[in-house]
Amino acid sequence: MKSKRHNKVLEIINQSEIETQEELAEELKKNGFDVTQATVSRDIKILKLVKMQSSSGKYRYVAPTQEERGLNDKLYSILKNAAISAEKVDRFVVLKTLTGAASAVAEAIDNLYTEDVAGTIAGDNTIFILVRTDEKAEELILKVRKIIS
Same domain, 143 and 97: yes
Same domain, 13 and 52: yes
Same domain, 104 and 57: no
Which of 15, 39, 62 delimits the end of a domain? 62
Count of residues in the chain: 149
Same domain, 28 and 73: no
| Cα distance from N-terminal residue to C-terminal residue, the chain | 30
149, exposed or middle or buried, with CB in 10 Å at 0-12, 13-18, 19+? Answer: exposed
Same domain, 139 and 112: yes
3-class DSSP string for 16-55? CCCCCHHHHHHHHHHCCCCCCHHHHHHHHHHHCCEEEECC
DSSP SS3 for 67:
helix
Q: Residue 70: what pLDDT?
A: 59
Q: Tell me the average confidence (pLDDT) per consecutive run of 10 residues in the chain, 149 residues long.
A: 84 90 93 90 84 79 66 79 93 94 91 84 96 90 88
Domain count, the chain: 2
Q: What's the domain range around 37?
A: 2-62
Which of 43, 62, 81 delimits the end of a domain? 62
Same domain, 72 and 32: no
Same domain, 130 and 113: yes
The CATH number that applies at residue 71 is: 3.30.1360.40
Same domain, 19 and 45: yes
Q: Residue 120: what pLDDT?
A: 95
Of the candidates 149, 115, 145, the one whose C-alpha atom is nearest the C-alpha of residue 132 is: 115
Kind and range of the H or E element at 135? helix 134-148
Provide the whole-model pTM: 0.56
DSSP SS3 for 100:
coil
